């Protein structure tokens, strides 16, 4: 019986997820394989690493002691591969969570650069609201979240990805004027299409219009910003969305920008991960995201300035 890294991977993931089944899913193998790897490791080291009963898993005191050593071995392996400039040797899965704004701006460029750096890392993609991604990140269902704040919990890995201002838009088919500042009474003649309930933009939009109970204000939240933009193009109402998501529609005149004195606060985006437990390539993926996001923002600002 030989010692191998798969045994250490199994040990670390079972310890982190407190589940043989979840560890098997994370490592794309079967639960019996995970059990076999743990049993082999315990036999080789002549220790009991964990106790199993009624579906729960608890590390023994010796298991707690050896867990960080196992992490150190896996990190050292990553460091060796990186130092040798042999990133193609890394095999694994990056479980990536992103919000819709990222999907419609620079996600494609990010995935292309990630594949060039790590050709044998497979990406499993989740697109969801930021609040849901945060929950999945702390459950370790995803490794890396590219998401907007505010956040209810802090992560040990956090790289700022930039700030994205929101603007008001409408369809040319509406009679909302775009050649002068718009008054609130004019804006609310049409439904207000917004981000999903519970998001920062929705809460701020709802608060902004709440004082005018004398007006028939209709808020239409959507968990899908692309659908919200399409509805705006089709004249269902006006909307406030990240400017970066609609630059092409504004250029093609499918949409027009409304001059309204107030908008929700800009969205601050971050790459968030567990720096203490994640593999090195997760941190590198976050750094690549930062580089791509910065380049996108620079190109977007240049485009705006040239249009102005």
pLDDT tens, position by position, 169-183: 999 999 999 899 999
Question: Please, what are the domains in the chain?
Answer: 5-83 (1.10.10.10), 90-163+267-307 (3.40.190.10), 166-258 (3.40.190.10)
Phi/psi for 215 (5° steps) reads -110, 145
- pTM of the shown model: 0.87
**What is the pLDDT averaged over residues 228-250?**
95
At 115 the pLDDT is 96
**What is the pLDDT averaged over residues 264-285?**
94
At 86 the pLDDT is 82
Q: Would you say residue 103 has pLDDT above 60?
A: yes
Q: Would you say residue 168 has pLDDT above 80?
A: yes
At 1 the pLDDT is 59
Q: What is the DSSP string of 34-50?
A: HHHHHHHHHHHHTS--E
Q: Please check whether residue 57 is in contact with residue 14, taking contact to mean a CB–CB distance below 8 angstroms.
A: yes
Q: Would you say residue 308 has pLDDT above 60?
A: no
CA–CA distance, 277 with 290 (Å, rounded to integer): 20
| Contact residues for 148 (Cβ-Cβ < 8 A; gap 6+) | 99, 101, 130, 164, 200, 267, 268, 269, 270
Q: pLDDT tens-digit profile of 224-235?
A: 999 999 999 999
Q: Would you say residue 272 has pLDDT above 70?
A: yes
Tokens 């929950």 sit on residue = 135
**What is the pLDDT averaged over residues 128-132?**
95
């Amino acid at each position: 019986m030989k010692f191998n890294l798969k045994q250490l991977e199994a040990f670390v993931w079972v310890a982190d997820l407190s589940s043989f089944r979840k560890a098997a899913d994370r490592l794309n193998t079967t639960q019996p394989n995970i059990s076999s790897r743990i049993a082999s490791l315990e036999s080789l080291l002549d220790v009991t690493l964990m106790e199993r009963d009624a579906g729960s898993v608890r590390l023994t005191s010796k298991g707690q002691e050896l867990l960080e050593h196992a992490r150190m071995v896996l990190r050292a392996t990553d460091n060796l591969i990186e130092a040798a400039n042999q990133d193609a040797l890394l095999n694994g899965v990056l479980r990536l969570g992103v919000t819709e704004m990222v999907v419609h701006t620079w996600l494609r460029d990010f995935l292309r650069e990630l594949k060039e750096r790590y050709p044998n890392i497979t990406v499993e993609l989740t697109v969801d609201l930021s609040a849901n991604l945060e929950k999945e990140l702390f459950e370790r269902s995803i490794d890396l979240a590219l998401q907007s704040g505010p956040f209810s919990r802090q992560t040990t890995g956090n790289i700022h990805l930039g700030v994205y201002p929101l603007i008001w838009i409408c369809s040319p088919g509406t009679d909302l004027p775009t050649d002068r500042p718009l008054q609130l009474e004019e804006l609310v003649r049409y439904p207000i299409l917004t981000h999903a309930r519970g998001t920062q933009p929705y809460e701020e939009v709802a608060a902004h219009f709440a004082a005018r109970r004398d007006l028939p204000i209709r808020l239409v939240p959507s968990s899908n910003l692309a659908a919200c933009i399409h509805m705006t193009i089709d004249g269902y109402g006006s909307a406030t969305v990240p400017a970066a998501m609609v630059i092409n529609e504004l250029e093609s005149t499918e949409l027009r920008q409304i001059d309204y004195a107030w908008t929700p606060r800009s969205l601050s985006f971050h790459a968030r991960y567990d720096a203490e437990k994640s593999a090195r390539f997760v941190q590198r993926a976050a750094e690549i995201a930062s580089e791509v996001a910065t380049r996108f923002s620079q190109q977007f600002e240049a485009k705006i300035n040239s249009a102005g």
